[in-house]
Amino acid sequence: MTSMAAMRSFRRDPSVTARELPEGTVRRILGIARPYRRELSFFLALVVGSSLIGVITPLLAGNIVNRIASLEGTAGDIVRIALFIAALAVVDAVISLATRWYSARIGEGVIYDLRSRVFDHVQRLPVAFFTRTQTGALVSRLNNDVIGAQQAFTSTLSGVVSNVIGLVLTAGVMLTLSWQITLLSLVLVPLFVLPARRIGRRLQDITRESYGLNASMNASMTERFNVAGALLVKLFGRPSAEAASFSDRAARVRDIGILSAMYGRFFFTALTLVAALATALVYGLGGWLAFTGSLSPGAVVALALLLSRLYGPLTALANVRVDVMSAMVSFDRVFEVLDLEPMIAEAPDAVPVPVDDRSIEFDTVSFSYPSASAVSLPSLEEVSLPEHGGPVDVLHDISFRVEPGQLVALVGHSGAGKSTIANLVPRLYDVTGGAVRVGGIDVRAATLDSLRDVIGVVSQDAHLFHDSIRANLLYARPEATEEQLWAALEGARIAALVRSLPEGMDTVVGDRGYRMSGGEKQRLAIARVLLKAPGIVILDEATAHLDSESEVAVQHALDAALSGRTSLVIAHRLSTIRSADQILVIDNGRVAESGTHEELLALGQRYAHLYRTQFADGERRTVEVA
Walk along the chain (626 residues) in steps of 10 and give the mean pLDDT of each run: 51 53 76 86 87 86 81 77 90 91 84 85 81 72 75 74 83 85 77 68 70 70 74 76 84 83 75 78 84 83 82 71 72 82 86 88 91 69 50 85 90 87 91 92 92 85 84 89 90 87 88 75 85 86 62 65 80 71 91 90 86 62 37
Helix/strand/coil percentages in the chain, nearest 5: 65, 10, 25
Q: Could you give the CA distance from residue 365 to residue 352 in angstroms, rounded to a whole number?
A: 22
pLDDT value at position 401?
93
Structure confidence at residue 591 (pLDDT): 92
- Whether residue 99 contacts residue 50, with contact meaning beta carbons closer than 8 Å, is answered with yes
Cα separation, 541 vs 572, whole angstroms: 7
Residue 22 φ then ψ, to 5°: -60, 150
> What pLDDT, on a 0 to 100 scale, did the predictor assign at position 118?
85
Bridge partners (DSSP) listed for residue 173? none
Quote the CA–CA distance of 196 and 192 in Å, as a whole number.
Answer: 6
**Is the distance from CB of 478 to CB of 485 less than 8 angstroms?**
no
Domain boundaries for CATH 1.20.1560.10 within the chain? 3-338
CA distance 139 to 135: 6
Specify the pLDDT at position 187.
Answer: 76
**What is the CATH topology of the domain spanning 3-338?**
ABC transporter transmembrane region fold (1.20.1560)
Residue 155 CA to residue 107 CA, distance in Å, equals 9
> Which ranges in the chain are annotated with CATH 3.40.50.300?
360-370+393-625
pLDDT of residue 435: 94
Give the pLDDT of residue 585: 92
Q: Quote the pLDDT of residue 87.
A: 93
Query: Which among 271, 275, 298 is positioned nearest to 287, based on CA atoms?
Result: 298
Q: What does the alpha-carbon distance between residue 35 and residue 42 come to, in Å, rounded to a whole number?
A: 14
Q: What are phi and psi of 395, to 5 degrees?
A: -125, 140
The continuous run of DSSP H or E covering 366 comes out as strand 360-368
Q: Provide the β-strand partners of residue 398.
A: 365
Instruction: Please report the pLDDT score of residue 624 as a whole number.
Output: 36
Q: What is the CATH number of domain 360-370+393-625?
A: 3.40.50.300
Distance, in Å, from the CA atom of 169 to the CA atom of 184, rounded to the nearest integer, reads 18
